[in-house]
């Protein structure tokens, strides 16, 4: 895994200064071993590309449908940043789901493009200049919204955009659709998205569950003649394990079951919680709450060359209308469902409010105003078409921000492919009217066209939309199984997070953006909000700079504050 930073400047001197800053970046900012190396420089020395880390198996070959690179100078690992042949023109491009992100900063006399926001911020002197719009979104969603990053002056390019930079000046445009052969049919698009994996050195490893999405990826892999094997996480009697075994048997797959660790639900100690907070900020580029398990950084001795490409069903909600399905199926009397537009508008507005502003009261007035202003375009979209707006909001925010951060964190450890995020699949799905997507008809039609024998197998937990739940079509939790306690939501964990937030909040910018009094209320036991506690603690780690200690032995919050 390696990261890329490209510079285009008005003068060779300005480019040289930024190249030097990129090479001198504090290694603690980056989650993979460095230092930076100059990969390419233009003859006029006004354009340069640098890499941090070493190329590995997580490059374009591991990202079918998302790899945009080719035979171009110094391309990024995902092929999203490159220099075109001939004149030294820096180019970048994002996919529709932008799960392989591109970040843009425009300091005086130059343009900086990177697939790592922290690196762009460090090079342009923005590492300690934090954006309150990102904080507002982070508290509600657990990740940024729109173009915001943790760093003011560094923004994420929107989905489906192309960037052309020459002489230190950037021009943005809508990316061309490109070849979408078969794109009008989701089944054909999905098969084309996974077909390049047939050339992998070892079989693809599919994370297979009893749900709807991973079985559809299994069907696409089988239809594309891609060698693959299945792995399921759980106990022998779990519905996911049972149904995954049925799917593997129908497809003739090697199927491995990995049981959870016996102490999986045991609460970690204070040092482990602190380490998780720091690592989450480092690995996710400051864009995911530590409530999520995003792993850690790559160590210099890590061997990944022989690892198989990992695949799964993440992103399948795109076929079902994203957030729109959640609003459409909200429990209301049947007569109100038939009312249609009025109900849809109200349900969609309420869901959008819960997603984006439920913790608005934590922000100070100026930060709250800035965050609300960033949501204004979505208010207009909701008024014009509520369900369609929620569908688009899922693609732009949940896919393009949460998934982008989670994907990058995963790629640091292992090669990963996510076929549902292929541009072809997204275009094909969005060409289908919303109703047959929300009622699962599109999903079932695609599965029937690829592997109809999988359509009749039961689902884990919930039936297809519109079907009654029966013993034949749904398997629920095994009898007598107790839910594993979630230590992340425990009162003890929330207490540790509260101590960390209140101790470190004043050491950085947190309480300049967040109201300390409101934070104390939301962290107060026994009614503390666990998601808010993790979000606030992650922000405290970021805004105080404590995340830069991710590679040092964990200490208590008080020790970190003093030291």
The per-residue pLDDT for 486 is: 86
Go through 41-53 and write b for each residue having 16 or more CB atoms within 10 A of its CB, e for each that does not: bbeeebbbbbbbb
Greater model confidence, 556 or 446: 446
The per-residue pLDDT for 72 is: 53
The per-residue pLDDT for 52 is: 95
pLDDT at 321 over 80: yes
The per-residue pLDDT for 525 is: 86
Mean of pLDDT values over 297-321: 79
> Does residue 225 come out as left (phi exceeding 0), alpha (psi in the -120 to 50 range) or beta?
left
The per-residue pLDDT for 269 is: 85
To the nearest whole number, what is the mean pLDDT of the chain?
Answer: 87
pLDDT at 154 over 70: yes
Strands 110-114 and 103-105: antiparallel
Residues whose CB is less than 8 angstroms from the CB of residue 176 and which lie 6 or more positions away in sequence, other chains included:
162
The per-residue pLDDT for 560 is: 46
Strands 459-460 and 474-475: parallel
- Residue among 260, 204, 213 nearest 232 (CA): 260
Using a pLDDT cut of 90, give the percent of the chain over it: 70
Neighbours of 387 (CB within 10 A): 23
Q: In whole angstroms, how large is the CA radius of gyration of the chain?
A: 24
| pLDDT digits 0-9 by tens, 155-167 | 999 999 999 999 9
The per-residue pLDDT for 15 is: 97
pLDDT at 58 over 50: no
> Does residue 230 come out as left (phi exceeding 0), alpha (psi in the -120 to 50 range) or beta?
beta
- Residue among 434, 358, 359, 356 nearest 392 (CA): 434
For residue 308, count CB atoms less than 10 angstroms from its CB and return exposed for 0-12, middle for 13-18, buried for 19 or more: buried
Neighbours of 364 (CB within 10 A): 16
The per-residue pLDDT for 535 is: 97
Complete DSSP assignment for 466-521: TPPP-TTTEE-SPTTPPPPP-GGGSHHHHHHHHHHHHHHGGGSSHHHHB-HHHHHH
Mean of pLDDT values over 47-74: 58
Sheet of 110-114, strand order: 36-41, 47-53, 2-9, 110-114, 103-105, 154-156
Distance CA 116, CA 32 (A): 11
Q: Are 5 and 117 in contact (CB under 8 A)?
A: no
How does residue 75 score in pLDDT terms, banded at 50, 70 and 90? confident
φ/ψ of 174, rounded to 5, equals -70, 130
Mean of pLDDT values over 445-454: 95
| 5: three-class secondary structure by DSSP | strand
How does residue 207 score in pLDDT terms, banded at 50, 70 and 90? very high
| pLDDT digits 0-9 by tens, 343-368 | 678 889 899 999 999 999 999 999 99
For residue 479, count CB atoms less than 10 angstroms from its CB and return exposed for 0-12, middle for 13-18, buried for 19 or more: exposed
How does residue 140 score in pLDDT terms, banded at 50, 70 and 90? very high
The per-residue pLDDT for 472 is: 84
Q: Are 542 and 130 in contact (CB under 8 A)?
A: yes
Distance CA 184, CA 170 (A): 33
Q: How many CA within 13 A on the CB side of residue 374?
A: 22
Distance CA 358, CA 395 (A): 21
Q: Are 123 and 21 in contact (CB under 8 A)?
A: yes
The per-residue pLDDT for 174 is: 86
The per-residue pLDDT for 476 is: 83
| pLDDT digits 0-9 by tens, 219-264 | 999 999 999 999 999 988 899 999 999 999 999 999 999 998 755 4
- pTM, full prediction: 0.91
Go through 181-198 and write b for each residue having 16 or more CB atoms within 10 A of its CB, e for each that does not: ebbeebbbbbbbbbbbbe
Neighbours of 395 (CB within 10 A): 24
Distance CA 550, CA 444 (A): 45
Q: Are 541 and 277 in contact (CB under 8 A)?
A: yes
Tokens found for residue 13 = 């001197």
Q: Are 379 and 401 in contact (CB under 8 A)?
A: no
| pLDDT digits 0-9 by tens, 177-198 | 655 443 358 999 999 999 999 9
């Amino acid at each position: 895994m390696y990261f890329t930073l490209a510079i285009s400047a008005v003068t060779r001197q300005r480019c040289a200064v930024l190249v030097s800053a990129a090479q001198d970046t504090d290694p603690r900012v980056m989650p993979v071993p460095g230092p930076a190396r100059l990969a390419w420089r233009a003859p006029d020395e006004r354009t340069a590309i640098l890499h941090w880390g070493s190329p590995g198996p997580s490059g374009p070959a591991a990202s079918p449908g998302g790899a945009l690179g080719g035979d171009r100078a110094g391309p990024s690992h995902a092929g999203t940043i490159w220099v075109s042949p001939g004149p030294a023109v820096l180019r970048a491009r994002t996919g529709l789901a932008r799960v392989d992100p591109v970040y843009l900063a425009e300091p005086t006399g130059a343009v900086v493009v990177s697939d790592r926001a922290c690196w762009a911020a460090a090079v342009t002197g923005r590492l300690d200049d934090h954006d309150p719009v990102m904080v507002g979104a982070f508290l509600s969603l657990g990740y940024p919204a729109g173009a915001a990053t943790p760093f003011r002056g560094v923004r994420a390019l929107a989905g489906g955009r192309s960037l052309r930079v020459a002489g230190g000046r950037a021009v943005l445009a809508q990316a061309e659709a490109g070849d979408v052969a078969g794109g009008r049919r989701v089944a054909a698009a999905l098969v084309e998205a996974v077909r390049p994996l047939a050339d992998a050195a070892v079989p693809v490893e599919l994370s297979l569950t009893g749900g709807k999405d991973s079985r559809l990826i299994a069907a696409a892999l089988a239809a594309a003649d891609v060698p693959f094997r299945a792995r399921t996480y759980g106990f022998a009697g779990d519905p996911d394990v049972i149904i995954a075994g049925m799917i593997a048997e129908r497809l003739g797959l090697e199927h491995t079951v990995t049981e959870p660790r016996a102490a999986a639900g045991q609460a970690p100690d204070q040092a482990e919680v602190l380490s998780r907070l720091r690592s989450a900020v480092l690995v996710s580029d400051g864009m995911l709450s530590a409530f999520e398990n995003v792993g850690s950084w790559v160590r210099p001795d890590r061997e990944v060359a022989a690892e198989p490409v990992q695949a799964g069903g993440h992103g399948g909600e795109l076929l079902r209308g994203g957030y729109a399905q959640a609003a459409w199926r909200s429990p209301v009397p049947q007569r109100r469902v038939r009312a249609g537009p009025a109900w849809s508008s109200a349900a969609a507005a309420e869901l959008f409010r819960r997603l984006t502003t439920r913790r608005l009261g934590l922000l100070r007035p100026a930060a709250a105003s800035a965050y609300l202003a960033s949501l204004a375009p979505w208010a207009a979209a909701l008024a014009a078409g509520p369900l369609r707006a929620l569908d688009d909001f899922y693609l732009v925010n949940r896919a393009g921000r949460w998934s982008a951060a989670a994907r990058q964190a995963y790629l640091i450890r292992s090669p990963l492919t996510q076929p549902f995020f292929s541009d072809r699949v997204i275009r094909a799905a969005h060409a289908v009217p919303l109703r047959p997507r929300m009622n699962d008809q599109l999903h079932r039609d695609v599965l029937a066209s690829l592997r109809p024998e999988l359509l009749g197998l039961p689902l884990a937990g919930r039936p297809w939309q519109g079907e009654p739940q029966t013993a034949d079509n749904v398997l629920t939790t095994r009898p007598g199984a107790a839910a594993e306690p979630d230590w992340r939501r425990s009162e003890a964990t929330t207490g540790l997070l509260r101590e960390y937030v209140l101790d470190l909040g004043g050491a950085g910018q947190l309480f300049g953006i967040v109201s300390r009094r409101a934070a104390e209320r939301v962290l107060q036991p026994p009614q503390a909000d666990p998601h808010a506690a993790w979000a606030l603690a992650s922000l405290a780690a970021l805004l105080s700079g404590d995340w830069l200690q991710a590679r040092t032995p964990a200490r208590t919050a008080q020790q970190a504050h003093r030291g």
